[in-house]
Amino acid sequence: MGLDIDAYFDRIQWLGGTRPTLETLAGLMRAHTAAIPFENLDVLLRRPIRLDVDSLRAKMVDGRRGGYCFEHASLFAAALEVIGFQPARCAARVVLFGPRTLAPRDHLFLTVPVGDATYVVDPGFGPFAPLGPVPLTEGRPDGATHWLERDDGLWALCVSRGDDAPVMGWVSTMQPENPIDFEVSNHYIATHTASPFMNWIMMSALTPEGRVNVMNRDVTILSGAETRSVTLADRTALRGLLLEHFGFDLPEVEKMTVPAIPEWV
């Protein structure tokens, strides 16, 4: 069937234009990340993660679910292609939690040419995702939360969140990859016992007040300048959190096992 672009626009509540301009790209990216959360619950439920457009549409558009990087970037790329953009799919090594020598190329983001410039678009980077296109140029513009630097021959996405010191999020060659490469990476991430996505709850959603981040039982609720921390008491509390902040109900989580939470195994 392919992507029903009108259904996608309805999902992200997009009422703007469809000309392939920077304004359109920025608006669509903001709308996408605001409407579709980052979450890995299907991996923990041992469900297959499929990247074909029909499956992405069924889950994230019709089913109003979220997803992780492979799903977000693949769906967003399909939408961009329908309206005339030419996104390239690129791979990165996430270096937030360890050295690049131990980080596989298991993150998918896009580069999108617009006019004479090219932009990095990364809607599936969870709480570290930029909310708009990042120019593929070196250096931090004034006030930018995300920018690119050169690091040992690679491009590095740098992230600044509030008062925290900037961090390096991922590194990449920016070389376009073939879709089959991401099928292989996706299979590893969704099925290998060493994959963090197989062991941890990892979720993030934008809200009208800020953002809600979840790592296992730890919930951080950002609302304006205020930060509140909550610990999930049980799976029922997790289901309630989904309803309150993530826009969907998933009864199956009340029986879900999470290796990183021994009492939930």
Give the total residue count for the chain.
265
The Cα 256–Cα 204 span in angstroms is 19
Using CB atoms within 10 Å of the CB of residue 139, give its burial: 0 to 12 exposed, 13 to 18 middle, 19+ buried: exposed
Tell me, yes or no, if 90 is annotated catalytic: no
Terminal alpha carbon distance of the chain: 38
Catalytic residue among 72, 107, 146, 245: 107
Catalytic residue among 32, 42, 69, 146: 69
Catalytic residue among 32, 106, 122, 146: 122
Tell me, yes or no, if 72 is annotated catalytic: no
Tell me, yes or no, if 158 is annotated catalytic: no
Residues acting as catalytic residues: 69, 107, 122
